[in-house]
Structure 1
């Protein structure tokens, strides 16, 4: 490609580039394991360590050439921390004032970045604990080399965007999804807005605030796949990127059909994500009375009953605005299978319902379906009642009693779930 160039730069030449880390990049996630490895690589090298490839997007801004870092920000940020430590030894750095301009305008607003910067800086400071060691380390650092791949096109830069750094942490799919959609937004204000919104989803703010992993891997991706008829019930992270990032579309939405809407890149995707995050959050906030039953079971790796229930409720709310009215009967049906199987990672009933809800034209269709399924659940529970009570682990029996107690006066079709269960 004519617009792509590659070269090997020494550390001294690299620091003279006007480098910038875009807001759409992931936080600074390197921890002590990666820091120790990088320091040893530099220290143990006699002729200069080769510290891997750096992928840059070359842009013009105010008559200046700026190189946005597409891949390599973890290493480059760590080197910035090393230089900050070395700058405390004035004799060591007396002839290297130019290094002060290296990544001078980069800011890290994410708490993950700030915590890692603080911890790593303290470790590096202890590692370079005296002037002689610092001086020797700087000499070796200056001999290091980097393979630089630079392109003037953002799309080409993204093609070179590695899934792993040579010595770093693997990029998660939610990091790649963010980068894919943000890199196409040209308006800097909008780019910053969506970058901060997305990063905010990594934080556990409260019990009713879903984080990015929950939204993608326990809601959006499985719901989309179940509607499409996929049999995949785990490892949703493996298909997340392909499901939400469509390079072959025409630049706009190819479909606009609710939760199955597809996006090539950009602003529309973040609006889509925010829409369902808002609905998910509102359902948790407005259904406090069911919290004793709605146990997220966060330690379970695969999807669980709670996740399946939330898929159904969010779909009902997005289509019919009736999640609060229908939540008792939905919970009644979804949790029945969890009771019978004695497993928390058991969303079978939810999986059967998701497709019906998505393709239903009216809320009444869903209500009739739940009434029918509720009757079937009642019959199955009555047949299994003796087996359930005979189990040595009586947690399930207590759970079943609590289940009926919570639903006795709240079930929408309560005439179908009366005291017949005691006969």
Structure 2
């Protein structure tokens, strides 16, 4: 690519570039483990340690050339802490450090994770380099430290070269890459900061009545989109999340409202889309908290879906199209949770998978209501048959759950169906 250049620079030369860490980058996540490794790599080198690649996007701001750091911010930020700790520790090293005054001078971190890690790592480095002779020797080695620099004038090319891991660091998650892809396309600084803070707020969210970014992307948006398109994928949705939500070659504006299947070229479009479904998801959780407390919420492996995830997919899709999702809570839960009684694979939202696609393509709410009635009848018949088989076997967890199903689950949250009497005959 003609617009891409590569070179090997010492840290001393690297600092001559006007480096900037964009707001769309993920937080500073390095902890003491990664910091110690970097310090040891530099300290143990003889002729300058090679600390991996730095990927830069060359751009112009107010007629000034800026190099935005696409990959390498964790290492470069840690080195900034090394310089600050050395300067604050030793006045005699002030002259040596003056040439680095402009290195990352305008970088700010508003994320609490960044602030906590910066504080902890700074204190550790300050103690590590408390001896002046050791600090001076360390800084001389730092100057000789080398980086492989890949610079491009096109942001898209920068993401092509983007490594999924920082040097000896933490793996970038799919939601980090999605955030970076869409934020880098926003040119208005106020808008960029708004969405960066919004996304990071979702990343930190731990309240049970509010979805976080992992839930929204990997337990709702990505699986729902794939299932509607006919995919058979059941887990590891993070592997395909970036390709599903990030497009580079879309032109113009779509004439159709594709709902949850919408594609986006521009970052602002993506964040509006994300916010729309986040608000619906949050609203359903808050309004139906009393209903949900009776539902069995199984724990599942990281990256896998559970029964409740499938249940919420159906509710959010229904609410986004027809409103009044509360009306289908009983019948929907009756169906989605039925397989819990019938199969060993209780964490998988099997019954929800087909409903997700049906709800998306339905034109009227009455279509969905009719389908739920039909499927509810079928689930009831399957449970009656299973009940006879299970009772003949040794008592186990599934048997106990089935014994209490009508007493607890149906009586409290599910409408009494017209076929209840049949069960008691």
Q: Distance in 1 between matches of 2:154 and 2:361?
A: 41
Mapping 1:165-184, distance limit 5 Å: 165-184=166-185
Does residue 324 of structure 1 match 2:319?
no
Identify which of 414, 422, 425 aligns with 1:411. 414
Which range is displaced more, 332-341 or 146-155?
Answer: 146-155
Per-residue CA distance 1:363-406 (angstroms, 9 max, x = gap): 11111111111111111112222455555434762476256434
Mapping 1:220-239, distance limit 5 Å: 220-239=221-240
Which range is displaced more, 27-36 or 72-81?
Answer: 27-36
TM-superposed CA distance for 1:299, in Å, is 4.4
Contact kept? 2:300, 2:347, Cα under 8 Å = no
Does residue 64 of structure 1 match 2:64?
yes
Q: Distance in 2 between matches of 1:399 and 1:268?
A: 46
Structure 1 alignment gaps of length 5 or more: none
Which range is displaced more, 126-135 or 246-255?
Answer: 246-255
Q: What's the Cα RMSD here?
A: 2.1
Q: Partner of 2:190 in structure 1? A: 189
Structure 1 pair 147–94 and aligned structure 2 pair: CA distance change class (3 A): same
Q: Partner of 2:109 in structure 1? A: 108
Structure 1 pair 380–286 and aligned structure 2 pair: CA distance change class (3 A): same
Which range is displaced more, 10-19 or 171-180?
Answer: 10-19
Contact kept? 2:341, 2:398, Cα under 8 Å = no
Q: Partner of 1:381 in structure 2? A: 383
Does residue 243 of structure 1 match 2:244?
yes
TM-superposed CA distance for 1:57, in Å, is 1.8
Q: Partner of 2:40 in structure 1? A: 40
Does residue 130 of structure 1 match 2:114?
no
Structure 1 pair 55–347 and aligned structure 2 pair: CA distance change class (3 A): same
Q: Distance in 1 between matches of 2:33 and 2:133?
A: 25
Instruction: Calculate the TM-score normalised by the size of structure 2.
Output: 0.93
Q: Partner of 1:348 in structure 2? A: 350
Contact kept? 1:30, 1:74, Cα under 8 Å = yes
Name the count of aligned residue pairs: 422
Structure 1 pair 267–70 and aligned structure 2 pair: CA distance change class (3 A): same
Which range is displaced more, 394-403 or 368-377?
Answer: 394-403
TM-superposed CA distance for 1:18, in Å, is 2.0
Instruction: Calculate the TM-score normalised by the size of structure 1.
Output: 0.93
**What secondary structure sits across from 1:59 in the alignment?**
strand
Q: Partner of 2:313 in structure 1? A: 311
Q: Distance in 1 between matches of 2:99 and 2:254?
A: 47
Q: Partner of 1:367 in structure 2? A: 369
**What secondary structure sits across from 2:347 in the alignment?**
coil
Per-residue CA distance 1:79-116 (angstroms, 9 max, x = gap): 01111111122223333223232212111111221222
Structure 2 alignment gaps of length 5 or more: none
Q: Distance in 2 between matches of 1:146 and 1:407?
A: 64
Contact kept? 1:256, 1:262, Cα under 8 Å = no
TM-superposed CA distance for 1:255, in Å, is 5.7
